[in-house]
Amino acid sequence: MIENFITAFVVYFVVIDPVGTAPIFPAITTHLNKRQKIRTALEGSFVAGAIMPVCALCGVWILHYLNISLTAFRFAGGIILLIVALDMLANKRQARREQGNDTISTDNNIAIFPLATPLLAGPAAITSVMVVASSPAGNLDIVIGYGAMVAVMLATTIV
């Protein structure tokens, strides 16, 4: 049971990447005061934390509707996670994130875009949540997966 929690926690921690997102946060919130920054961090984490369970709950149904097998989705998700891991090893992910911040408008709610999605609840995080939620093990493992996701989102908010 604890092994499943640790496994899910590590997977979510790697794909959500709160440590990698931390340097981006001050860059996109330079125009905000301290109170607004705290609110933005809370909102972004909350929205990302709401997006992922919805994807976990509805994802299998959507895949079935689109005629995509769970095995094919897991295979594609594994490839995405491999690409993310290789990008992290080559330090390309951080450079790409910093490069994309030049087009952010201050009129938009930055807690939703770009913080909640795609930085926190990006394709790799959504894929990971769907794969963990579709685990054939049992309901307890799914609840443990959700608990790990909540723990990572709390850690993300703090970081």
Distances (CA, A) of 153 to 31, 32, 132: 24, 22, 16
- pLDDT of amino acid 40: 92
- pLDDT of amino acid 97: 57
Specify the pTM: 0.74
DSSP state of 31: T
- pLDDT of amino acid 95: 61
Extents of the domains making up the chain: 2-100+112-158
Cα 18 to Cα 109: distance, rounded to the nearest angstrom: 19
Cα 29 to Cα 51: distance, rounded to the nearest angstrom: 22
The backbone torsions φ and ψ at residue 122, rounded to the nearest 5 degrees and listed phi first, read: -90, -175
- pLDDT of amino acid 81: 76
- pLDDT of amino acid 130: 83
Low-confidence ranges of the chain (pLDDT < 50): 102-106
Q: Tokens in use for 112?
A: 């939703």
Q: Tokens in use for 95?
A: 């450079």
Identity of residue 116: A
Cα 84 to Cα 124: distance, rounded to the nearest angstrom: 8
pLDDT one-digit tens code per residue, 105-144 = 445 688 888 888 888 998 888 888 887 777 766 678 788 8
